[in-house]
Structure 1
């Protein structure tokens, strides 16, 4: 029986390894190679570092990169706070209707990112949107959700938080219910307030989970594409064109595959550096007592 289990285990490992090499490692190697070539989908001509030189002289690249950093810098704390707040409420003994609330908050995870973008575009359309319809019903003026860059950015931000809430909620709930109840009971005996229990018991106890949620959120926002593409298509103008949209535009619409590959390599380095720094400063997701 043990030998048979080893065979099955080895088979599953080999299958996963083949899939990893075929769909992750090989495309990554091709991306590195294409970043040093002038490739339009037909013939790849080696040009060395020319793509990278042109990239770091391109104002459009810096504009999309700065928007991506802003989107991530604002979005990650917003997603973290909302996810943690909802999770704390859903595990609280004082909250009523928790089972129904869990189902409602879980629903966005079952929806495709493209559908999420279309749904929020319908809600926040300027001439046909549901939100502007409600505003007009109560006597207000319709808001330029699509033609104003700031409003469009806010819509993308809220749609992102709504879309990622469910997954983070599941992770946080699992961490929160594993905290020993004796810690809270001891805090109550010592006269600790709700905020003190949250600050000195809850947050330190879920530090590893917080590390995971923040890391995944950074990755998700830095690479966000289908939801933003279907919601704003990078507009108005290029006000919501983030780095992945820029890669798509140059690689597929302009057929500059080599140049787009160079941008992809820059994005990979940024994510790698962030991961290493966060892992170092949090000691692998652990916080010293």
Structure 2
């Protein structure tokens, strides 16, 4: 005798599925959505609108169409600051990735002594605000009062022109940015390293692989998604860098190390050309999206997940 399962056979009708309530989830995410609209969507919409005007911070303004964008395309100062920004990224991001990964490997090595203390020391820079970071490095590399020049003079050398030489000032900016960003990236790499299967290392040891071969053929492929994330976040953060640079050297000497966000800030607030600065912000937004999409596509082609 065949037993019927449940009530599906009664009247030939299948049981109704209970509908999941949607009101509670929507109610819970509503505050986040409201805050996102207020602090992100609405300012972006206002900026897009102002980019088509000659708004200068006053109540009166007029529509200028694409005039701001056409002028921006021929603005040497904008492209110069954008080029300097990409130079900063090309120098700081690879160095940051290498040093962060090195620090993560060291603090996850079971044979290393003082791993807990090392993690704490490496993590401290991330707790410091960008403005304080800029002031610290400005104090360290000051020409007349900096600790670095005092050490150089104590060793019999000549003081370096850290603030008045464009290349040296740019070098200090790179070092400060790497120092500030290492901690967070190190934490990401630590998590990725701990998730690599130990059985792969054991199998490689049985096959006679050395430490370098294990690192290249097991560690690097195992942490590839995290490496991509670190590069992407570092690139976006470098494009948006402002507070640290403002506190460190103000884009100096002169405007030789002025990054693109500083240019937008000075144009909008110092020169009261908010409409024009809004157009520059919109162009920067497009560049950010393009860079992100390009990196994601390259990661997909190289086999990243």
TM-score, length basis structure 2: 0.90
* Cα distance in structure 1, aligned partners of 2:218 and 2:61: 57
The answer on whether the counterparts of 1:72 and 1:222 sit within 8 Å (CA) in structure 2 is yes
Q: Does 1:54 align with 2:71?
A: yes
Structure 1 residue 277, shift from structure 2 partner? 1.3
Structure 1 residues not aligned, in runs of 5+: none
Quote the offset at 1:61 in angstroms: 1.0
Structure 2 runs not aligned, ≥5 long: 1-18
Partners of 2:29 and 2:302 lie apart in 1 by 27
Q: Which residue of 2 aligns with 1:16?
A: 32
User: What is residue 244 of structure 2 aligned with on the other side?
Assistant: 227
Instruction: Name the structure 2 match of 1:114.
Output: 131
Once residues 52 and 302 of structure 2 are traced to their aligned partners in structure 1, the CA distance between those partners, rounded to angstroms, is 36
Which residue of 1 is the match for residue 45 of structure 2?
29
Give the superposed CA RMSD.
1.6
Cα distance 1:224–1:285, how it changes in 2: closer, same or farther (>3 A)? farther
The answer to whether the Cα contact below 8 Å between 1:279 and 1:285 also exists between their aligned partners in 2 is no
Per the alignment, residue 278 of structure 2 pairs with 261
TM-score (norm 1): 0.95
1:175, distance to aligned residue in structure 2 (A): 0.6
Classify 1:110/1:204 alpha carbon distance in 2 versus 1 (closer, same or farther; 3 Å).
Answer: same
Q: Which position in structure 2 is the counterpart of 1:155?
A: 172
3-state DSSP class of the match of 1:33? helix
Distance 1:81 1:132, change over 3 A: same
Structure 1: distance between partners of 2:191 and 2:129: 24
- Match of 2:156? 139
Shift, 1:274, TM fit: 1.0
Aligned 1:195-210 pairs, distance under 5 A: 195-210=212-227
Structure 1 runs of 4+ off > 6 angstroms?
none
CA distance in 2, matches of 1:165, 1:22: 32
Q: How many residues align?
A: 285
How far residue 6 of structure 1 moved from its aligned partner, in angstroms, is: 7.0
Identify the residue that residue 237 of structure 1 maps to in structure 2.
254
Select which of 57, 78, 91 maps to 1:41: 57
Residue in 2 that maps onto 1:211:
228
The answer to whether 1:103 aligns with 2:116 is no
Aligned to 2:88: 71
Deviation at 1:287, TM superposition (A): 2.6
TM superposition shift of 1:284: 8.9
